[in-house]
Amino acid sequence: MSTDTYENLRLELRRGCLVLAVMAALEHEQYGYTLRKALAERGLAVDEGTLYPLLRRLESQGLLASQWREEDKRNKRFYRLSDDGKRLLGQLLEEWKRIGASLNGILGGHLHGTG
């Protein structure tokens, strides 16, 4: 199996999780750079070329709200989860739990190295 195949599958696996992580992190208002740092500190490093287009997409879908504001004498764009985003996050978390439970059952043997 080539490294490219692994990398593509890894990115595909991360893509869905990333949306959930970003939405959850934005329950508290943050601007892009601090959001990126927060995700990286929790082990989910994401480059700016992925994060900012994702934030724009979520905002265009009405799940995030943003506002330009001055902080430390510089203009920064702050994002937070909208009301629609909060509702959807709740639904997605339920789905995440269901998927997690199913996967634990399916992958049980593999996760314990006996698969």
Binding site for another protein (CB under 8 A): 31-33, 36, 47-50, 52-53, 56, 68, 74-77
Positions of E strands within 2-55:
30-31
Nearer to another protein, 44 or 96 (CB): 44
Q: What is the DSSP string of 1-44?
A: --HHHHHHHHHHHHHHHHHHHHHHHTTS-EEHHHHHHHHHHTT-
Query: Which token pair is 16?
Result: 């869905």
Question: At closest approach, how far in Å is the CB of 70 from another protein?
Answer: 11
Instruction: Give me the least distance between CB of 55 and another protein, in Å please.
Output: 9
Q: In this complex, which beta carbon is closest to another protein, that of residue 55 or of residue 63?
A: 55
Closest distance to another protein from the beta carbon of 74 (Å): 7
